[in-house]
Structure 1
Amino acid sequence: MLAKEFAKNVVRRIWRSGLYAEVLHLTDLVGATIAKPKASEDGFTVVMSPAGDGNIGDSAMLLSFLDRSSGPVKVMMKVPKDGFESSLMSEIRETYGPRVTFVSGRAFYRSLPPMRLSSSIRFAREINGAKSFFVHGADTIDGGNVSASLAAWSLCRVASRVGLRCGVLGFSWREQVPEVVAKSMSKANKTVPAYLRDEISWQRIRKSGAVKAIPVADMAFSLERETIAPTTVKNWIEDQALSDKPIVALNVSGLISNYMDQTPEIKAIVEQIHTLGARVLFVPHVIRETDDDLAVCRTMYGKFANEDDLLVDELLSPLQVRWIASKAAAVVTGRMHFSILSLSTATPVIALATAGKVEGLFKLFELERLVVPVSEGFGSNVARVLSGLWQERVETSELIKLRLPAIRERSMKNFELL
């Protein structure tokens, strides 16, 4: 175990070196030199997205991008290794038809030099004949995973050098970004504009050396299509409406559970929801091995739910989550995009802050008071904030409605290069 941890630390140290960043980018340049891709103004659009592994937020950004695009689009995303289509891929095919095609993008983020060369060549071949290349930054661009961040910025530089119109869309910039990632960003940003989804991130990235940074709002605010939840959830929600019982949608984050026991915190939150006379709808937002919401939602549901509460036990689409949020009196979530999908329906939402990213989002709505930092005892803090919000939820919803048109206009700026 100690040897394994030592090896991980060595790898992380290598990733954070300027030499590693240069070797990675040189590998991508060699790949482009071998493949000789060319841009075409009459060509297709390429988007590299982290979507495809059970994260509804990443899926929401991809769908919003596809909604605003026209013509052929090649999506570089996480494609199941077993050869079967994910539910997201099937939804995209049904919605957009043959104009959208898929390419496995996992290796473009994860492959390391010198083995990366084969991935670099494949990337260059995939963009041959394209007119534009976009990266959905999400949580893969500002150093959460240093190697993946460096890879994304490097490929932007390659695509821009080939002559493609490029942009990095829909991301936040954390307060403490590794220096090597900031330098890689600043090199790419000379020709590749960065679209930051909140003012705080915009200010941070400018301090990191960005010269082409545009403040926008998250792409998911531009989603306008609607759909309903699965039948079981839909029927339950309708039953609560007939019984005149308000609903609070509660997300328990698997990411937070990776580093702390949330049991006493969720107990306090659920008890407060019941005290307010509301039903609890447990909603997982990310379902995957590394930070699975469903596993922890199921555990908390088993411990604290009343017989009239409900657990959603499957991965929903972003539009289904949005529909659920629209039916809730309030939402409590540890996932940022559940906040965004809730705010887009003018539903009051309390967000747990884990990485310094939701604060900027809530500042856009002047609702910073609804952000609760994650630390020991956050459950009682959420309960207190929820109690106050409950008395003002109609007024809060009206405030959100007042802000939404301007936020949606900012969101649309993400697509100005399409």
Structure 2
Amino acid sequence: MQLTIKTQILFQLLSIYAATLGFLRKTKVRSQIDASALFLPPSDPGSIGDEAMLAASMEHLAAQGIQRIGIITLQPTARWENLKLVTDTINIKGFFTRGSWWERFRLVEKISRYEHFYCLGADVMDGFYSDNVTLLRLNLVALAAKTGADATILGFSFNHQPTDAAVQSFSQLPASVRLCCRDPISYQRIKQCLQRPVELVADLAFMLQPAEDSDLTVRVSKWVRAQKAQGRIVLGVNANALHLTKVTRLKRDEFIQFYANAFINLCSRNQKISLLMIPHDFRGDDSDVSIAQAILEAMPSAIKPYCMQVPTPCSAAEIKSICADLDLVLTGRMHLAIACLGQGIPVGGVTYQGKFEGLFRHFELPGMTIDPEKAFQPGVLTDFLIDLIAKREDIHQQIQSHLANVKVLSVSNFERKPKNALAG
């Protein structure tokens, strides 16, 4: 994607204005900036994974003395219900495409009022979903850095085929912008693309504190423990429509029935299996909630008494707490895998975008993922689960042996290293 001439000119003018604000900040002509941070999320509300990263980051910064926390949204009505530390919301809908020039310059001035600017990179920095989304975010990071804010792209992954526009935009970022890759594979990929320092971190959500005492958590955990008291193995399951785009031969009904058949086969091979469906994204008609409900409806009556779905709405912290009681989880959402790993719980991933492999590399855990094209073949997903169930105690021990170090890497998203300590 190429920016229009008009947009390029606009960005150049905004850059000059941002640099002027940066000069005034540096020379202390402007009033002193307070302890503050502004966040640019990966998307608007609806993703438990995005909420986990944001909540963990804000809690960490508040504990470090950050007094004012702002968040940027793409929709005027967007509200992050579970982010209690947000003091200011800035809407940027149509920043480069509509609105008056005054509004755009006003936005840059608002950004300049913050000490820190944090872009949550997640999986939207390589152009995979949209060059427009990636370039807008990188342009905002560049503008923030030029205003003198301490700008960082927090814990992001980078797939094996980044777009040319994304790579070019990364290469044009100001040298002061920190790049924090959240897994070893992404770290190597972006080092090959860019000639600039990159830091290896772990995902922000590893810092999230579980909500152990909420009514929802207590209710679900009570059911899980009752199942385990009967000698049953409780398997957490997240299925989502992302894989419908990867496995084009399956229609929605076929996709639902395939999951149901895999669990029916699993229960026939191990009659002590109980299922907890765990939605992790509430957006769209084919949300995780509707997918989970459809799978449970397709289960035979003999199995349904041993099935439950996590009620919604729920928070990321509640999901993380619930995961601690499970024996094993199968997920198509990476941040549910992180919630499990953060609690020492074995988890298998149905992959997408090449993200899971890098996550498990932190724990030196091979064989924990399955490609959707392979998973949705008769018997394969069931065999995958049977193998993980048999190995779950060894997997648990391996997770525990690496978890402390991974949590340190998660915190390092917010620790600016000396220039001579950075890898490039």
The answer to whether 1:142 aligns with 2:126 is yes
Query: 2:373 is paired with a residue of what secondary structure?
Result: coil
The answer to whether 1:224 aligns with 2:176 is no
The answer to whether 1:338 aligns with 2:331 is no
Q: Is the 8 A contact 1:249 1:282 kept in 2?
A: yes
Which of 326, 329, 334 is the equivalent residue of 1:328? 326
Q: Which residue of 1 aligns with 2:290?
A: 295
Query: 1:280 is paired with a residue of what secondary structure?
Result: strand
Tell me how far apart the structure 2 counterparts of residues 383 and 23 of structure 1 sit (CA, whole Å). 56
For 1:182-331, what aligned pairs fall within 5 Å after superposition? 182-188=167-173, 190-228=175-213, 230=216, 232-258=219-245, 260=247, 261=250, 262-274=255-267, 275-276=269-270, 277-289=272-284, 292-304=287-299, 306-308=303-305, 309-331=307-329
Which of 2, 6, 11 is the equivalent residue of 1:25? 11
- What is the CA distance between 1:293 and its match in structure 2? 0.9
- What is the CA distance between 1:30 and its match in structure 2? 6.5
Tell me how far apart the structure 1 counterparts of residues 71 and 164 of structure 2 sit (CA, whole Å). 27
Q: Which residue of 1 aligns with 2:422?
A: none
| Greater alpha carbon shift after TM alignment, 246-255 vs 20-29 | 20-29
Tell me how far apart the structure 1 counterparts of residues 224 and 37 of structure 2 sit (CA, whole Å). 40
Tell me how far apart the structure 1 counterparts of residues 190 and 117 of structure 2 sit (CA, whole Å). 21
Task: Give the number of aligned pairs.
Answer: 393
Q: Is the 8 A contact 2:124 2:134 kept in 1?
A: yes
- What is the CA distance between 1:117 and its match in structure 2? 4.2
Which residue type is aligned with residue 206 of structure 2? F
| Greater alpha carbon shift after TM alignment, 220-229 vs 138-147 | 220-229
For structure 2, the residue ranges without an aligned partner over 5 or more in a row are 26-31, 418-424
The answer to whether 1:175 aligns with 2:167 is no
Q: Which residue of 1 aligns with 2:36?
A: 44
- What is the CA distance between 1:247 and its match in structure 2? 0.8
Q: Which residue of 1 aligns with 2:420?
A: none
Q: Which residue of 2 aligns with 1:369?
A: 367
- What is the CA distance between 1:79 and its match in structure 2? 7.8
Alpha-carbon deviations, 1:244-299, whole Å to 9, x = none? 32210000112223554323531343124423221111111000116511111111
CA spacing shift, 1:68–1:375, aligned 2, 3 Å: same
Which residue type is aligned with residue 402 of structure 1? S
Tell me how far apart the structure 2 counterparts of residues 245 and 66 of structure 1 sit (CA, whole Å). 38
Q: Is the 8 A contact 2:18 2:146 kept in 1?
A: no
For structure 1, the residue ranges without an aligned partner over 5 or more in a row are 1-14
The answer to whether 1:64 aligns with 2:59 is no
Query: 2:53 is paired with a residue of what secondary structure?
Result: helix
Q: Which residue of 2 aligns with 1:399?
A: 398
Tell me how far apart the structure 2 counterparts of residues 252 and 23 of structure 1 sit (CA, whole Å). 44
Query: 1:188 is paired with a residue of what secondary structure?
Result: coil
Tell me how far apart the structure 2 counterparts of residues 228 and 338 of structure 1 sit (CA, whole Å). 20
Q: Is the 8 A contact 1:142 1:174 kept in 2?
A: yes
- What is the CA distance between 1:217 and its match in structure 2? 0.7
Q: Which residue of 2 aligns with 1:87?
A: 81
- What is the CA distance between 1:406 and its match in structure 2? 1.2
CA RMSD of aligned residues (A): 2.8
Query: 1:304 is paired with a residue of what secondary structure?
Result: coil
Q: TM-score, normalised by structure 1?
A: 0.85
- What is the CA distance between 1:82 and its match in structure 2? 4.8
CA spacing shift, 1:353–1:304, aligned 2, 3 Å: same
